[in-house]
């Protein structure tokens, strides 16, 4: 929980998105005696962002805290959207939220706070009390220089408790629905990509090389995908993508998607120091996947049990108990 300390009298910036989570985070900090100011970050041009800005201003007014609007659209396009498109063009499936947290949302300097569901205890990051809402997976790229001045008030609460607090604080956002994971996509990822990436049709084949049909652009599919392949006689799952030959390889056996081993790059350790390897951990290969026992080597992870649809471009993230140790990008 938030406690009075010498930091409580210092100024703290709260990233206020206009949603219930960041709004309650600001209210909790003010109640705890912090000198709170808000910042609303302009990331892209969409009607939903204008509405979010209006909500953030209403919340700031209700809390009687100043709110600054910061235009980071150029930085967001360069660091997040361009990265997102480049990864898809390379045949990978990226996670832009992780990059956004590292490059955009946590680079204000001084003390700051967000509405993320995660706990910081000293120099350590821990999973949120609400394991269903825990967002530590998205923060594995953060460094100690960023973490030492960040507070996460919501990590000690469940989502229902946060909504209840929003009512108690009389915030005009307590019924605001959940935001989508990839905020700038708006509708579907395929529709967004279609605006920037030219489709290059090619053949769909099975694991034996038999041609089953035609895909509508290899970059629009992801490993483990079942819907939208467009083949009769299924179900089929996307097993591999051969970019050189422009082939989409599918299988009728879902067990073909199981793998016990992956390689990774761009490793980051939250402590700032690499641990002694090999290291026994619990790891997950996507936000909604379960934690699974594994062993981490220099650039490889071997799971005790096979994992479904290990996907290049996604993140493999490591835990010890509730503590987030770090992670890497799946090759």
Q: Which residues are catalytic?
A: 100, 183
List the structure tokens of 211. Answer: 């041609």
Overall residue count recorded for the chain in this entry: 331
Q: Which residues make Cβ contacts (< 8 Å) with residue 196, sequence separation at least 6?
A: 85
Alpha carbon 202 to its chain centroid, in Å, reads 31
Q: Which helix (H) or strand (E) holds 145?
A: helix 144-147
CA torsion sign, 58 to 61 to 62 to 68?
positive
325-to-210, 261, 263, 268, 278 alpha-carbon distances in Å: 44, 19, 17, 9, 14
Contact at 8 Å (CB) between 284 and 316? yes
CA-to-CA distance for 317 and 321, rounded, in angstroms?
A: 13
Q: Say which DSSP state 197 is in.
A: S
DSSP of 23-85 = HHHHHHHHHTT-EEEEEEEE-S--HHHHHHHHHHHHHHHHHT--EEEEE-HHHHIIIIIHHHH
């Amino acid at each position: 929980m938030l406690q009075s300390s010498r930091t409580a009298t210092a100024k703290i910036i709260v990233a206020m998105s206009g949603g219930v989570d960041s709004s309650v985070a600001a209210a909790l900090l003010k109640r705890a005696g912090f000198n709170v100011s808000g910042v609303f970050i302009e990331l892209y041009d969409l009607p939903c962002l204008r509405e979010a800005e209006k909500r953030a201003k209403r919340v700031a007014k209700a809390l009687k805290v100043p709110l600054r609007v910061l235009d980071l659209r150029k930085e967001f396009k360069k660091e997040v959207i361009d990265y997102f498109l480049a990864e898809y063009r390379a045949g990978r499936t990226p996670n832009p939220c992780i990059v956004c947290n590292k490059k955009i949302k946590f680079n204000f300097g001084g003390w700051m706070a967000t509405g993320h569901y995660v706990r910081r205890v000293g120099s350590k990051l821990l999973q949120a009390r609400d394991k269903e809402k825990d967002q530590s997976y998205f923060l594995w790229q953060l460094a100690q220089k960023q973490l030492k001045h960040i507070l996460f008030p919501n990590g000690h609460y469940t989502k229902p408790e946060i909504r209840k607090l929003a009512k108690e604080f009389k915030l005009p956002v307590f019924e605001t629905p959940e935001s989508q994971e990839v905020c700038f996509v708006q509708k579907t990822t395929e529709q967004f990509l279609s605006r920037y990436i030219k489709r290059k049709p090619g053949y769909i084949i099975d694991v034996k090389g038999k041609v089953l049909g035609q895909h509508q652009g290899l970059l629009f599919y992801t490993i483990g995908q079942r819907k939208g392949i467009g083949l009769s006689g299924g179900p089929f799952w996307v097993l591999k993508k051969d970019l050189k030959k422009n082939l989409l390889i599918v299988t009728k056996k879902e067990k073909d998607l199981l793998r016990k081993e992956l390689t990774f790059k761009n490793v980051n350790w939250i402590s700032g120091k690499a641990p002694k390897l090999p290291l026994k951990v619990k790891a997950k290969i996507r936000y909604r996947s379960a934690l699974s026992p594994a062993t981490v080597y220099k650039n490889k992870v071997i799971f005790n049990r096979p994992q479904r649809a290990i996907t290049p471009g996604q993140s493999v993230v490591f835990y010890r108990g509730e503590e987030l140790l770090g992670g890497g990008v799946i090759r």
